[in-house]
Amino acid sequence: MADKEFPGWHGTTIIGVRKGGEVVIAGDGQVSLGQTVIKGTARKVRRLSPGGFEVVAGFAGSTADAFTLLERLEAKLEATPGQLARASVELAKDWRTDKYLQKLEAMLIVTDGKELLVITGAGDVLEPERDVAAIGSGGMYALAAARALIDSDLDAEAVARRAMGIAAEICVYTNANLTVERISA
């Protein structure tokens, strides 16, 4: 089957919310192939502990590609302990310039509780405005919902959960089966 005919993997919504001295990353569990839900309980948010330095990461895109990137990020964090931004920039540089890594189709949201970053294959390491970042097929729905909720009395986890619920109601590639990880600054 030619690449143009292949329906392609869709799905995932990942959100990161920083509020009240903590950061929450939440992700849905749906993996779809074309019009079919293949799995509804995937874990797309992970806790990493390279060298005792704790990081939470969420990924959207190809699972195998994301795991490759997470392994590379862990190696970068081991080389630069406690420096998430530096490790992320080094990963983004490698991702942009390495012929093998250039083919990877995924995005990451990472946090150490102080910094909240989005890492892309275009070489971007972005710190979001308004303390909310979102990626994936339902990312813009979750982002809009979280921005509307961020100034409310809700804590970071409640904002993330409500935003993900709204995204799941709108995006057919997002479900309400959430994995949520919290980390303090």
Q: Annotated catalytic sites, by residue?
A: 12
In whole angstroms, give the CA distance from residue 18 to residue 25.
9
In whole angstroms, give the CA distance from residue 15 to residue 134.
4
Q: Look at phi and psi of residue 113 and say left if phi exceeds 0, alpha if psi is from -120 to 50, else beta.
A: left
Q: How many CB atoms lie within 10 A of CB 14?
A: 30
Non-local (6+) Cβ contacts of 42 within 8 A are 12, 29, 30, 31, 63
In whole angstroms, give the CA distance from residue 43 to residue 132.
20
